Structure 1
């Protein structure tokens, strides 16, 4: 089935991804809130570590044939996240949400670990989405990984 996305799909994807991460954290006991602040989208208190997390959510909705492409996080994001986390006394984290094919992947990791996995290039950090990297993230105790499988059973 060919999919023609709406003109607002990027905005809707971002809102959905923020809500998905917020929901999943809440489901597992994190006290958390969606925030409208430059640099971070969610503030969450981790009940396992007592750490307060400032989370920037990055999301992509991939068309058929574009699966496995990396998610670029431009370098101008990192100082904004650091400033927001300093203001709210929290630790910087990133969540990456990718809808591709029949799966939605969500990842959460600290900004520090993000840089360990994918060092900054001249303009960006590239969150890799190849099968090799999906397996690496799944085995990494510092990356929270969530995978949803979906199918459209009936549609217009």
Structure 2
């Protein structure tokens, strides 16, 4: 009996480490994928940001297009990470629609600079199209546009 008890105690003691070593599971919902992406940008975590992207990702931003996750990672991801760190993002409106294995999310937000950084005040619109894969929802298309606004 004591040998079984010892094995059970060892297994329970090791379980948290085993659970932490498991790979990140894909997003259960489209909005979760969008939130994970933005949280990764905010925390300067490019690996987690890229994990939220579909293999056929296309990004439209200020008239430019990135037609693959690697192109986005090589060209604009570092800028988006740096921008997210110095701004606060307040969601004004967010709408999601899911139809089978395709979803879209529309977000209107205000981006403002954090104290001690260069002044920024932008109203942003964001469209994300997501696709459901075996490992969860992934972002297949991002379209961002923004314009300045006067802060109160």
RCO comparison, higher one (Cα < 8 Å, 6+): 2
Larger strand proportion, structure 1 or 2?
A: 2
TM-score (norm 2): 0.32
Larger Rg over CA atoms: 2
TM-score (norm 1): 0.31
